Amino acid sequence: MTEGANQKTTAEEAVEVALEVNGTVTKVLVPSRWLLSDVLRHRLGLTATHVGCEQGVCGACTVLIDGVPTRSCLLFAKAAEGLAITTLEGVLDDPALQALQEAFHRHHALQCGFCTPGMLLTALAMVRQQVPAEPETIREYLSGNLCRCTGYQYIVEAVAEVLQAVDRGDPAGSPALP
């Protein structure tokens, strides 16, 4: 963790925050009001978590908290102490995530890519919960993650394909990206 030269004049008291991110506990010194999304991105360098609205609507900042999709822009880092936080960086070796990446790639389920990490984490939680592979159900589960480019169709198809594989009991670990 690097502190920029820009911290010197901060009068507001920074507090120690011990965050369990991707299985490792890291301590950072930040004011209590810092959002988890900002601490992940600007203190821990985990920039796969994107910030699209800070209004709790767009889902770009989705992380998994104790395995469940959660908005990191609506959680103070200090309040996240003691929770198990997972970002996209933390699941890159997960076979289910790799199956999703591969399906997203093949189905053209991303364009600008800004919503993609949030989409993938939501989809990963769906795979882990074995959500039924029906398009309507998938759309419902993904409805909290906005995408402005794709129109969702190919995301739904990609997620459906992986969910079907899970249904069939296929090992969700086809080779990752080229």
Partner 1 sequence: MEHSRPQWTGARVARVEDARLLSGRARYLDDLPLPGCLEVAFVRSPHAHARIRRIDPRLALAMPGVVAIWTFSDCPVRLLQSGVYPVGQPALADGEVRYVGEPVVAVFAADRYLAEDAAEAVEVDYEPLPAYVDLAAIVEHPDWAVHPPVDNRYVHREYATEGFDQAFAQAPHHLRVRFRTRRQTAVTLEPRGAAAVFDPASERLTFYASTQSPHRMRGDLAKFLGLPDHRVRVVVPEVGGGFGMKANTYPEDILVAWAALKLGRPVRWVSDRMESLLADAHARDDIHDVEVAFDGEGRIWAVADHLMADGGAYPGYPFSGAVGETGLAAQVLTGPYQIPHLKTTIDCVFSHKTPLGAYRGVWGPIASFVQEGIVDRVARAVGKDPAEVRRLQLIDQFPYRNPAGLVYDPGSYRDSMELALKAIDYDRWRDEQRRGWREGRYLGIGISVFVEPSAMAASESGSIPYEAATLRMEPSGKVTASLGLGPTGQGHETTMAQLIADALGIAVEDVVVLHGDTDSAPLGGGTGGSRSATIGGGAALTAAERLGEKVRRVAAHLLEADFEDVVLAQGQAYVRGVPSRALPLAEVARIAYTDVARLGPELEPGLEVTARYRPPLPMTFSNGTHVAVVEVDIETGLVKVLRYAVVNDCGTLINPQIVEGQIVGGVAQGVGSAFLEELAYSEDGQLTTTTLLDYRLPEATDVPPVEIQHLTTPSASLGGMKGMGEGSLIAAPAALVGAVNDALAPLEVWFSEIPITPEAIVRAVRRRAEAPR
Partner 2 sequence: MKPAPFVYHRPRTVEEAVALLGLPACKVLAGGQSLVPLMNFRLSRPRHLVDINWLPGLDGVEWDPDQGRLRLGALVRHQVLATHPLVRRHLPVLAEAAGHIGHWAIRSRGTLGGSLAHADPAAELPAAMVALGARFCLRSQSGERWVDAGEFFQGLFTTVLAEDELLTAVEVSVDQSARWGFYEIARRVGDFALAGAYARRRGGVIDLTWFGVGPKPFTVELQAGEAEAALEQVLQTAAEDVAARQWAKVAAMRALQRAGR
Place of tokens 């999304």: 37
Among the candidate windows 8-16, 21-29, 125-133, 161-169, which touches partner 1 by CB under 8 A? Answer: 8-16
Number of H helices, E strands in the chain: 5, 5
Among the candidate windows 14-22, 123-131, 138-146, 167-175, which touches partner 1 by CB under 8 A? Answer: 138-146
What crossing angle do the helices spanning 95-107 and 116-128 adopt, rounded to 10°?
130
Q: Is 1 in the site for partner 1 (CB under 8 A)?
A: no
Give the footprint of partner 1 on residues 25-64 (CB under 8 A): 31, 33-34, 41-42, 45-55, 57-58, 60
The binder of partner 1 chosen from 15, 76, 81, 111 (CB under 8 A): 111
Among the candidate windows 19-27, 125-133, 148-156, 166-174, which touches partner 1 by CB under 8 A? Answer: 148-156
The binder of partner 1 chosen from 14, 106, 134, 171 (CB under 8 A): 106
Residue (of 172, 93, 175) closest to 127 by Cα position:
172
Q: Alpha-carbon distance 36 to 105, whole Å? A: 29
Q: Residue 25 binds which one of partner 2, partner 1, none, with CB within 5 to 8 A depending on kind?
A: none
Amino acid type, 28: V
70 contacts 62 by C-beta, under 8 angstroms: yes
